[in-house]
Structure 1
Amino acid sequence: MNEFSHIELDEKKLANQTLDYILKNQNTCLESSLFLKILDVRKDYDDLNNHIEFLKDRLSYLKFIVDYDTVEFKNKMQTYQILALDDQGRTFDNSEVLTLPKFQKEQFSKEIFWANEDEEREYKRISNFNCFEDKIVNEKKINGVMLNAPFYNVKGWILYYQALLDLKFPEFSEKIVSGKTITKYRPFKDKYFLGITTDYQSCKDNFRRGWWEEPEYKLIIFEKIDSKKIRRTVTFKKFVHPHFNPPVFSFMGFYGSMTTRRINEREIVLGEDGTKRESLGDGAVRIYNTEQYSDDFKRHAYFYYDMLYRTTKEYIKFIEESFEP
């Protein structure tokens, strides 16, 4: 055990707990998460209870790295690969063709998820904001401006992420704000607290480039010095279940799946997206996004946070059992 971190993480124990979790949650909206990395999307597994040894193997490649007070992980589980020959007989990696069936799996899971009237009601309650900002530009400059499209409503999105965190992780009911860093936390063990922390700076930077990526949350175990100061004991550099990383399509992966299409075995092209142009006359052009496009983005973020909660709940349980004050 590392005497600085008070924690010893057993990869085999987490693998066994994850196996139980998978078996209990097959045939639910969680199932699409399994096909991102653990299961082969080309196969029909039927009852996963018939594939125990296979699942044990897939969950056996995780390694935690504890460096004083910081925890990272590496998962060396092999990804599924499709090799093909080009017209000159050369081998190339054609694994990208698996993206569409994975996306379709996730769409089916979302249909199950959104059939829940409570989720639909909560979504409508907190998602009433404009995803994107309109731009009015000179038509001569439009190509340069479009390099950073779509144009995200940065403040609206950050507030939405905070609302989703409050909704999906209600037990983290206390908050400490230190500078730009926001930590939502709850009691943990003895004098220690468990917190989800971020400054949302990476999101702000990416939004201004026209990129959509999930917030960089960290999980921390800490002591409180006073109402605004803490002393970190352990920092988990990425707040995500190591076997469900990511729990659903990443934000960038979802965006890519919506805006590209395949034209043959080797080529994909940018397809129709929700960013539109409207001529206003006198050389002025309005750039805007459709309501449907905005709704797709907000719903994916909502689904992501829900699945992040479902999977990390098991991970937090494992961490709590591993921590010795």
Structure 2
Amino acid sequence: MNLDENFRLKLQRTLRDNISYLQNKSIDLVNNIDNESKKNVLSRVSDEYNPYRISQERAIHNINTSIESGDQPILKLRNDDWARFRENEIEFKVIKKPTPPLHSKEELQLRVESEDFLYDCFNSYWLDTERNNRYAQVSDFLCFQDLEFPKDELFKIQNKGNIYNVESWIKYIADLVEMNFSEFKFDKKKSNRIVRFLKPLNENFEFGFEYDLTALKSQIKNNGIQLPDYFNIIVINKMFDSKAKIKSHIFNYNDNIISLGILGNPFFYPPCRSLYSFSIVDLYHYGKFYPDNIDPKRVREYKFINEENMKIVHSDEYGEKLKKYAFFYMDLLGYSSKSYLDYLEKCILEAF
């Protein structure tokens, strides 16, 4: 059997036939959130402006209303690379809270409350001893590289911003994937510049997700610290040739590999602010007080070693916070997306 049009038609049917499975599992997640640190995932489906007033009842109501509002999900080709379920291969339209006008008093208040709420969840998360122990198992690396350079290159180095320890971050991200998605194993034979984590479905096909390793390295080196834009869910023939054209299955149909898009429950994705966004917000976040004009925190210094050479020295405190936030994000992603992965696996197996 191939992942051809006949399979896609069957999959479209099973996605809709089993929508109540995802609905019930998502509602179970809402009902079982009793830990302050995980409440941030509800902010995606809640329609409250103030995140501190998130209501589990309203979240459940919005899940039910989204499911009952029309025929969904829709299986289609992706139009672009945006990490939104409205643009996804499996398109979901989820009720979202209205946003206030940009730069309005209400928009500023929402931004302040959302950031404060995220920090409260993040800080609460690290009160747990077991989480700290798990973090210690994978986080023993330096976030930044303290580079030495000739003093006449200072302007160029300053423009580069923070210099991240790219290879250590790449390993850390892979470790976090393995920790939070332990059902899926790294498949070296089916990976090249695209890294794939897979599990068997039957004798012919595997189910899992992928991310572009080369693009991720370039983004961290040139644009700042980040996770993949999204982990891309796939079904793949065990005979798939890893030398196939990169990403040809994202915007086109392929009988040996099918892209199903964003790894994340459509009701809870993203589970919190992205790592890249957090790395910027944290430079300006000084707690509850939010003045109109503030200077960013100093997270690196440029020091003379001798008359001719200098050294960039990064903040260890800031680096530690970035590593902890990546851990936090990936834990919430694994927690909130399990029901969606189970739903997809059920639908795929029924489509064969």
Could you tell me the TM-score, scaled by structure 2's length? Answer: 0.77
Distance (whole Å) between structure 1 residues aligned to residue 177 and residue 314 of structure 2 = 26
Specify the alignment match of 2:182 in structure 1.
170
Higher helix share goes to which structure? 2
Q: 1:19–1:55: 8 Å Cα contact kept in structure 2?
A: yes
Specify the alignment match of 2:213 in structure 1.
200
Is 1:259 the counterpart of 2:283? The answer is yes
The 4+ residue runs of structure 1 with deviation greater than 6 A are: 58-62, 226-231
Specify every segment of 5 or more residues in structure 1 that has no aligned partner in the other structure, as ranges.
85-90
Moved more, 100-109 or 311-320: 100-109
Offset at 1:286?
A: 1.5
> Residues 245-285 of structure 1: CA distance to partner in whole angstroms, max 9, x if unpaired?
211210122112101259x9894555114222223231533
Residue identity matched to 2:327: Y
Higher strand share goes to which structure? 1
Distance (whole Å) between structure 1 residues aligned to residue 113 and residue 69 of structure 2 = 25
Is 1:21 the counterpart of 2:29? The answer is yes
Specify the alignment match of 1:35 in structure 2.
43
Residue identity matched to 2:303: E
Moved more, 307-316 or 118-127: 118-127
- Larger relative contact order, structure 1 or 2 (CA cutoff 8 Å, min sep 6): 2
Offset at 1:54?
A: 4.9
Specify every segment of 5 or more residues in structure 2 that has no aligned partner in the other structure, as ranges.
79-87, 245-254
Query: Within 5 A, what are the aligned runs for 1:1-325?
Result: 3-5=6-8, 6-8=10-12, 9-10=15-16, 13=20, 14-36=22-44, 38-42=46-50, 44-45=52-53, 48-49=56-57, 52-54=60-62, 56-57=64-65, 64-67=73-76, 71-73=89-91, 75=93, 77-83=95-101, 92=104, 95-177=107-189, 178-189=191-202, 191-215=204-228, 216-225=230-239, 232-260=256-284, 267-323=292-348, 324-325=351-352
Residue identity matched to 1:135: L
Moved more, 133-142 or 57-66: 57-66
What RMSD in Å do the two structures reach over aligned CA positions?
Answer: 3.5
Alignment coverage as a number of residue pairs: 319
Distance (whole Å) between structure 2 residues aligned to residue 283 and residue 31 of structure 1 = 52
Q: 2:207–2:345: 8 Å Cα contact kept in structure 1?
A: no
Moved more, 162-171 or 22-31: 22-31
